[in-house]
């Protein structure tokens, strides 16, 4: 059994998608050992509790120093015997030390068609507003490996989603999010297969 640690910051619908996929057998050979939230008020923590998954908060408030925060993350990841880290709506950038320690074993979901609308400053609702402001007719979601850059790692899967007339950042976000849930399961299966070979 591969052990996944999921890093979250917010609502956790992508976390829920992973939980559901594991429970229904759409993801096999893996389990969520633990979730780590950067935000003590994240609804994702409630989701973990409901499914009896261990949860930890490692926040900027608790660890204002970035190096200390990285050490806390590394200690938990190690303690949890993490094989794969999934960033599912995690709104912090991982430091190079952590990325190097888990090279090729960290994936991130991003709500745009990378290389468009990604990188520093593009997260959550801001991504969708930027897509609308640019007058794009399509957007989408991407799951990629995490390297030392921001949203620059190798792409695993990508899915297009149309932008519709009258879309707001909220309506577009909701349409993309629905696809993200499928895409993340698909990507995790791809990665599990690769790790098992």
Does residue 47 touch ligand GAR according to CB under 6 A?
no
Report which residue's Cβ sits closest to ligand GAR: 89
Which residues, in sequence order, are CB contacts of 93 under 8 Å at separation 6+? 120, 150
Does residue 128 touch ligand GAR according to CB under 6 A?
no
Does residue 73 touch ligand GAR according to CB under 6 A?
no
C-alpha to C-alpha distance for 163 and 184, rounded to whole angstroms: 21
Question: Which of 22-30, 74-82, 122-130, 154-162 is the region at the interface with ligand GAR (rule: CB under 6 A)?
Answer: 122-130
C-alpha to C-alpha distance for 8 and 190, rounded to whole angstroms: 21
Measured CA distances, 7 to 3, 44, 55, 162 (Å): 13, 10, 10, 28
Cβ closest to ligand GAR, residue 94 vs residue 177: 177
8 A C-beta contact, residue 18 and residue 184: yes
Does residue 109 touch ligand GAR according to CB under 6 A?
yes
8 A C-beta contact, residue 108 and residue 144: yes
128 is catalytic: no
Does residue 89 touch ligand GAR according to CB under 6 A?
yes
Binding residues for ligand GAR, rule: CB under 6 A, are: 10-14, 88-89, 109-111, 123-124, 127, 177, 180
């Amino acid at each position: 059994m591969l052990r996944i640690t999921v890093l979250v910051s917010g609502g956790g619908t992508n976390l829920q998608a992973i939980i559901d996929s594991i429970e229904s057998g759409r993801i096999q050979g893996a389990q969520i050992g633990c979730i780590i939230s950067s935000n003590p008020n994240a609804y994702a923590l409630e989701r973990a509790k409901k499914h009896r998954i261990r949860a930890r908060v490692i926040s900027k408030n608790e660890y204002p120093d970035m190096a200390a925060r990285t050490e806390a993350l590394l200690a938990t990841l190690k303690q949890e015997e993490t094989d794969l880290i999934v960033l599912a709506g995690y709104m912090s950038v991982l430091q190079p030390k952590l990325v190097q320690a888990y090279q090729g074993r960290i994936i991130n979901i991003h709500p745009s068609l990378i290389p468009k609308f990604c990188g520093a400053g593009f997260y959550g609702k801001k991504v969708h507003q930027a897509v609308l402001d640019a007058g794009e007719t399509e957007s989408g979601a991407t799951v990629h490996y995490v390297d030392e850059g921001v949203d620059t790692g190798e792409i695993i899967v990508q899915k297009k989603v149309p932008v519709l007339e009258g879309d707001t950042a909220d309506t577009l976000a909701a349409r993309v999010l629905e696809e993200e849930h499928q895409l993340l399961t698909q990507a995790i299966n791809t990665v599990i297969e690769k790790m098992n070979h």
